[in-house]
């Protein structure tokens, strides 16, 4: 893992002021002006755009978008999640970093955030585009439950994230089974597109879970590659303004901890109704693809394990535990 970034005080000071003189800043941070200049240059090397010189004063460009992990930790009222947030400018994948923390024995709740990922991973071996401006996070969990009880955890997470996104941005969220969050602009009620994906990786023995790496990718203020724009969007595009990633992460961690407390004690059952109500494509004809076959049916809901329940053409209903769901275009023509 690259060395941890410990520069939050300087970043916070630059973020909270417009142009600030070197003398003022050095006084505030209790360092010499020379030491301050060195620190500012180190930040510049890391990609922060800071104009000015000690005498003229410093000014940080795009200061509002700067992510300061310590500010998030300090604002949290959680007991476990996010008390320690490890922030990096660049990582291959936050999943790899959080697994390293797991191997070192860190407790539940450690969080890794990267400003950008060079090898972001999605479900089913897909690439996850992770440019600057998005929220790329992995959370270390140590659920005190049996390994077979873990799969609905990501459904529970998607519900908590959808609530957080709605409260922090101007978007309406829906859940795409199993664990995507899709959103549309609140004002327009337009077509929903993907804004968040969740990747859950786990290490377990037959009767206990060692760790779960809960990877969350939210398209916030990041650019999206052209080929994704048909099905994905960003919160900035929906809200028509930049969305505060720190506030969003804080709300996500608060919501997740509350939900996990309930989930660890009572499984998916307490979430089933709310989850099903917020699903995309309820009662519509969908196709479930698990890469071996495509099954078409009517989306009836989710069962107590979080499995997708489809009504099949013969009248039988069946539960599916994995796969990708899409709307069946031909089957839905004229049936709404």
Q: Any contact of residue 219 with ligand BTN (CB under 6 A)? A: no
Burial code (b: 16+ CB inside 10 Å, e: under 16) for 188-220 equals eeeebbbbbbbbbbbeeeeeebebbbbbbbbbb
Q: Any contact of residue 122 with ligand BTN (CB under 6 A)? A: yes
**CA 307/CA 67 separation, integer angstroms:** 37
The residue with tokens 């990041």 is 222
**CA 263/CA 306 separation, integer angstroms:** 12
Asked whether 66 and 60 are in contact (CB, 8 A), the reply is yes
Select from 86, 121, 251, 298 the one that contacts ligand BTN (CB under 6 A): 121
Segment interacting with ligand BTN (CB under 6 A) among 33-41, 119-127, 231-239, 288-296: 119-127
**Interface residues for ligand BTN in 152-181 (CB under 6 A)?**
180
Tell me 222's DSSP state. Answer: -
Nearer to ligand BTN, 17 or 90 (CB): 90
Question: Shortest distance, CB of residue 217 to ligand BTN, whole angstroms?
Answer: 3
**Interface residues for ligand BTN in 228-247 (CB under 6 A)?**
none
Q: Any contact of residue 138 with ligand BTN (CB under 6 A)? A: yes
Q: Any contact of residue 199 with ligand BTN (CB under 6 A)? A: yes
Select from 27, 44, 53, 126 the one that contacts ligand BTN (CB under 6 A): 126
Question: Shortest distance, CB of residue 4 to ligand BTN, whole angstroms?
Answer: 18
- 111 half-sphere exposure, CB direction, 13 A CA radius: 27
Q: Any contact of residue 120 with ligand BTN (CB under 6 A)? A: yes
Distances (CA, A) of 323 to 95, 197, 287, 288, 333: 21, 14, 10, 6, 23
| Residues lying near ligand BTN in the complex (CB under 6 A) | 93-95, 117, 120-123, 126, 128, 130, 136-138, 180, 197-199, 215-217
């Amino acid at each position: 893992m690259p060395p941890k970034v410990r520069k939050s005080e300087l970043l916070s000071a630059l973020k909270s002021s417009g142009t600030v003189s070197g003398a003022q800043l050095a006084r505030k941070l209790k360092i010499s002006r020379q030491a301050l200049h060195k620190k500012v240059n180190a930040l510049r090397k890391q990609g922060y755009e800071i104009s000015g010189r000690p005498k003229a004063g410093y000014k940080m460009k795009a200061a509002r978008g700067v992510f300061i992990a310590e500010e998030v930790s300090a604002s949290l009222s959680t007991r476990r999640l996010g008390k320690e947030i490890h922030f990096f400018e660049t990582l291959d994948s936050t999943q790899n970093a959080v697994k390293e923390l797991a191997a070192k024995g860190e407790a539940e709740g450690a969080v890794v955030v990267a400003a950008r990922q060079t090898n972001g991973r999605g479900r089913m071996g897909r690439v996850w585009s992770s440019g600057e401006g998005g929220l790329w996070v992995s959370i270390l969990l140590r659920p005190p439950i049996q390994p077979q009880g873990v799969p609905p955890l990501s459904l529970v997470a998607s519900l908590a994230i959808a609530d957080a996104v709605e409260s922090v941005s101007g978007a309406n969220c829906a859940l795409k089974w199993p664990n995507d969050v899709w959103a549309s602009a609140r004002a327009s009620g337009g077509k929903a597109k993907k804004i968040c994906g969740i990747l859950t990786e786990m290490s377990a023995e037959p009767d206990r879970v060692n760790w779960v790496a809960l990877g969350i990718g939210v398209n916030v203020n990041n650019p999206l590659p052209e080929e994704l724009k048909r099905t994905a969007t960003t919160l900035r595009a929906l809200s028509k303004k930049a969305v505060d990633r720190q506030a969003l992460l804080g709300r996500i961690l608060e919501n997740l901890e509350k939900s996990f407390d309930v989930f660890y004690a009572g499984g998916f059952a307490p979430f089933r109704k709310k989850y099903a109500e917020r699903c995309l494509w309820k009662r519509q004809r969908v196709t479930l693809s698990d890469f071996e076959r495509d099954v078409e049916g009517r989306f009836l809901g989710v069962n107590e394990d979080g499995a997708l329940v489809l009504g099949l053409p013969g009248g039988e209903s069946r539960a599916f535990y994995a796969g990708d769901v899409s709307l069946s275009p031909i089957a839905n023509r004229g049936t709404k």
